[in-house]
Structure 1
Amino acid sequence: MYQMAFKFFSEDESTFFDDVNSKQLENIPGLEPMAIDFKFFQAELSLFSFHLPNWKPLFSFLLSRFPISFSFLLSQGSDFNKIFNKIKLTKMLIEEEKMKISRQQFLKYCGLGILAPALVEKLSPAAPRLAAAREEVKKMKIKKIEIYTLDVPLISPFRIAIGTMYAANDILVKIITDSGLYGLGEACPFPPITGETQESNIAAAKAVREILLDKDPLTIEALVDGIGNIVHSNPSAVAAYDMALYDLLGKSSGLPLYKLLGGYRSNFETDLTTGLNTPEKMVESVKESLSLGYRQIKIKVGEDPDLDVKRVRMVREAIGPDIPLRIDANQGWSVPQAIYALRQMEPYKVQYVEQPVLASDIFGMKTVKEQSPVPIMADESLFGPADAIKLIKEEACEYFNIKLMKAGGLLNSLKIAHTAAAANIQCMVGCMLETRLGLTAAAHLVASQKNIVFADLDGNSEHKIDPIIGGIKVEKGIIYLPEAPGLGADVDNNFLKKMKQF
């Protein structure tokens, strides 16, 4: 009696249902409402309606008008969620003579709400993909969690005011579900900042592993809250789990993560950081950064104030007057030193300084802010949303530096960003020495939010090897987000085989 024609496409979901409107659907005769309980599909609809907000009425109409056929077609694709993103419903073709199926035959095929295979073959050219899909629309459960070391050597030691890094000794968390989907997350501890080590991260990750088994991985807030309550002194370990859960959310919806989180932009500019060294060697480093196409420069300071002023002067002379120049003191100065150094740097157009004084000295940072010609960005003083509120209340800084490894992942990072936006404080997203897996997660955060206007996502620039497949691409200082579902990044299995598993 009826044939539904579907056309597959690879366009952006913004064109979903372009050729169909409710009036066209209203004119389809013979499919009066059928008695079927489709609350489950309404629940699925609520999950996806936030990224297709204009089409919720259309989805509701389709489900209420002919719930058996449409719900079945949606639920039976080889990947339920890809239908929302990969299929464009161009029109409903009524070919009454071709199908020769009476309403009685139609209801017979429908039975208790499940179309018979013979009818499915006539209803959709997607029939070869329909066999095993119903199980995929059920709630996923976490069935297994694997923990690995993730050790990446550096090209050379990377020195900042509070310590020197010789390698990226990270961990990888892999959450595997009963649907076959898995999510990946990375923890990148740095003891001088977060007080963690690789060993403590492994212990923390193992401590919560059993608790997560058989849980729904899409209940992210509940799971991350529970993990954080148990291992709150290991925010990087919490971030690894958080990251893996968000990866699963994106994969289960068929969307890249940045679109699920807000989708404000799909690419953005990052700076490239030069570590502490002699002024001459730092100049060589920033010139190399410029040769690679970077147009935003960041350098480390925080030692002797006079030497730091010399570093800034020589770097500014090397890069010219128009390249944005940012500095990071990493808590290296006292309050008087910070005020002195920043006043001396005024001629050199420093865009902002990160964490000039001790993280615990909020009053001291406010004092520097009130007397400095250079704007202040809070970094080590800012871990979670409560810190953001305190900094806002004390008016201690102009900017926030959000890091997944400090905040415990994307969930709390989003809360910080939203808190900052409400207070009209712009943000940057920075990093430790993550691989491109962790950097990709951070990049999804940057791309999702209007209020995140700066990025310092160069942690892998010092790595000797790159064990990540997919993920962000960097071209002349511009980071491009992957369009694959979830994080859009994976770890090379050959590399992973060399790591320790727990």
Structure 2
Amino acid sequence: MTTELLIRPRTLCFRSSLSTGAGLRVGVEGFWLRLGDGLGEVTLLPGFGTEPPERAHAALAEAASALRGSAPPGSPDEVADRIGKIAILRETPATRAGVELALLDAGARHAGVPLAIWLGAELRSVRVNALLTDDEVDALASEARARAQENFDTLKLKVGAQPAERDAARLAAVRAAVGPNTRIRVDGNGAWSEAEARTRLQAFAPARLEFVEQPVPATDFDGLRKLRSLARIAADESIGVPGARDGLFGGKRPAVDVLVFKLPVVGGVLRARRYATLAWQVGVEVVVTSALDGAVSRAGAAHLACTLPVEGPAHGLATGHLLESDAGGYAISHGLCHLPDGPGLGIDPEVLGW
């Protein structure tokens, strides 16, 4: 079977707006991709580590030309080789992630095995955290209690959109609602200076956080490193800035305790796996998370998570319920993301209207 890259613009709308440290979000722009039987997805987050739409358009056009008439890849190494020959994808991580995923899905489908197995791992269910979205203290506590009763052992909150004392009160309410054993993590989306982050982290200390994700701007690697004296620190958007590898891993010790991979920011499954190997060598944990994207990209992230240690932190892939429509999304129950045993990603292209 020969392939041609098919491209369809898409807008994912949230059921309700989401408050973050970087502002209010109501949806995400991007593209659905199809390459033969393989599915891909481009999620654009300008300002959060991805290219802007006009650059993605150019990259998709170049990728479509380069891949026209090619057969399904025979191995993940062959996928990496094809991606490496498309120069513009080196500078467009979201497009790279989407095109690469379409190739990986096509190759695994052609081999007749789930993508995780094609990558050399075992197919399994993946532990996931619940993202709490209510802003008001009482409603947030009720939401936290409900998610804990559904057997989520890790909860995540967005912080930074409200004053420090308000966020501290929200965290205190969540901790009181779920007790001492449930893990709680927060994401500041780079909203604070190092000085403000210190004040926030001190105020958050009674909640006993698992880690604090991106408390300072993406380029402030020194700030991330210094804040490790107050809490376990995770990098998200920092992974997508120039010089990230030196910034995160240079010096006497890493800048963070945890790397948080969003496929459109890190540049795809294969690049994430290389990053993860480097992280483990210096004692940094790895979490795979949604970019609040659609079912296809989250599926790729779930298969990536299967290649990571089982005993690692919960992954951030239970976000499909935030979308108005989530055709093809994997089932989430009892704090687990359940991967289908079909070939490739296991998503029928017809479900997405192809």
TM-score (norm 2): 0.90
When the two structures are aligned, how many residues end up with a matched partner?
346
What is the CA-CA distance between 1:387 and the residue it aligns to? 2.4
SS at match of 1:485: coil
- Give the aligned partner of residue 315 of structure 2: 455
- Give the aligned partner of residue 376 of structure 1: 233
* Aligned residues of 2:106 and 2:344 also touching (Cα < 8 A): yes
- Give the aligned partner of residue 205 of structure 1: 60
* Aligned residues of 1:173 and 1:241 also touching (Cα < 8 A): yes
- Give the aligned partner of residue 52 of structure 1: none
1:163 aligns with 2:23: yes
Superposed CA deviations along residues 220-256 of structure 1, whole A, max 9, x for unmatched, are 11222233x3144431111110100110121122111
What is the CA-CA distance between 1:457 and the residue it aligns to? 0.7
SS at match of 2:292: coil
For residues 487 and 195 of structure 1, what CA distance do their matches in structure 2 show?
23
- Give the aligned partner of residue 326 of structure 1: 185
SS at match of 1:174: strand
For residues 472 and 459 of structure 1, what CA distance do their matches in structure 2 show?
10
Superposed CA deviations along residues 417-465 of structure 1, whole A, max 9, x for unmatched, are 1111222211000111122221111000001122754301123120122
* Aligned residues of 1:270 and 1:477 also touching (Cα < 8 A): yes
What is the CA-CA distance between 1:349 and the residue it aligns to? 1.3
Instruction: Classify 1:265/1:323 alpha carbon distance in 2 versus 1 (closer, same or farther; 3 Å).
Output: farther
Counterpart of 1:475 (choices 317, 333, 336) is 333
* Aligned residues of 1:294 and 1:477 also touching (Cα < 8 A): yes
Superposed CA deviations along residues 350-372 of structure 1, whole A, max 9, x for unmatched, are 11010111110101111111x31
| Letter in structure 2 aligned against 1:375 | R
Counterpart of 2:262 (choices 394, 403, 407) is 403
SS at match of 1:489: coil
| Letter in structure 2 aligned against 1:159 | S
Counterpart of 1:194 (choices 45, 49, 54) is 49
For residues 200 and 387 of structure 1, what CA distance do their matches in structure 2 show?
21
For residues 293 and 350 of structure 2, what CA distance do their matches in structure 1 show?
15
Superposed CA deviations along residues 134-167 of structure 1, whole A, max 9, x for unmatched, are xxxxxx643x221012333321011211132212
For residues 281 and 204 of structure 1, what CA distance do their matches in structure 2 show?
43
- Give the aligned partner of residue 215 of structure 1: 70
* Aligned residues of 1:184 and 1:490 also touching (Cα < 8 A): no
| Letter in structure 1 aligned against 2:353 | L
Counterpart of 1:421 (choices 280, 284, 287) is 280
* Aligned residues of 2:219 and 2:241 also touching (Cα < 8 A): no
- Give the aligned partner of residue 257 of structure 1: 115
For residues 214 and 172 of structure 2, what CA distance do their matches in structure 1 show?
20
Query: Any gaps of 5 or more consecutive residues in structure 1?
Result: 1-139, 177-181, 498-502
For residues 209 and 265 of structure 1, what CA distance do their matches in structure 2 show?
31
- Give the aligned partner of residue 250 of structure 2: 393
- Give the aligned partner of residue 432 of structure 1: 291
1:299 aligns with 2:154: no
What is the CA-CA distance between 1:265 and the residue it aligns to? 5.5
* Aligned residues of 1:375 and 1:398 also touching (Cα < 8 A): yes
SS at match of 1:282: helix
What is the CA-CA distance between 1:282 and the residue it aligns to? 2.7
Q: Name the Cα RMSD after superposition.
A: 2.3
SS at match of 2:152: coil
For residues 212 and 342 of structure 2, what CA distance do their matches in structure 1 show?
35
For residues 58 and 18 of structure 2, what CA distance do their matches in structure 1 show?
26
For residues 166 and 461 of structure 1, what CA distance do their matches in structure 2 show?
14
Percent of aligned positions with the same letter in both sequences?
25
For residues 244 and 206 of structure 1, what CA distance do their matches in structure 2 show?
15
Superposed CA deviations along residues 23-48 of structure 1, whole A, max 9, x for unmatched, are xxxxxxxxxxxxxxxxxxxxxxxxxx
TM-score (norm 1): 0.64
SS at match of 1:250: helix
What is the CA-CA distance between 1:379 and the residue it aligns to? 0.9
For residues 384 and 454 of structure 1, what CA distance do their matches in structure 2 show?
25
- Give the aligned partner of residue 88 of structure 1: none
- Structure with higher Rg: it is 1
1:184 aligns with 2:43: no
1:272 aligns with 2:127: no
For residues 408 and 309 of structure 1, what CA distance do their matches in structure 2 show?
34
**Bigger RCO of structures 1 and 2 (CA < 8 A, at least 6 apart):** 2
Instruction: Classify 1:252/1:195 alpha carbon distance in 2 versus 1 (closer, same or farther; 3 Å).
Output: closer
- Give the aligned partner of residue 176 of structure 2: 317
| Letter in structure 1 aligned against 2:145 | K
Instruction: Classify 1:195/1:480 alpha carbon distance in 2 versus 1 (closer, same or farther; 3 Å).
Output: closer
| Letter in structure 2 aligned against 1:335 | E
* Aligned residues of 1:275 and 1:282 also touching (Cα < 8 A): yes
| Letter in structure 1 aligned against 2:344 | G
| Letter in structure 2 aligned against 1:496 | G
- Give the aligned partner of residue 11 of structure 2: 151
What is the CA-CA distance between 1:192 and the residue it aligns to? 2.8
Counterpart of 1:488 (choices 335, 346, 350) is 346
Query: Any gaps of 5 or more consecutive residues in structure 2?
Result: none
- Give the aligned partner of residue 206 of structure 2: 347
| Letter in structure 2 aligned against 1:169 | E
What is the CA-CA distance between 1:258 and the residue it aligns to? 0.9
For residues 195 and 351 of structure 1, what CA distance do their matches in structure 2 show?
27
For residues 386 and 488 of structure 1, what CA distance do their matches in structure 2 show?
36
SS at match of 2:314: strand
SS at match of 1:239: helix
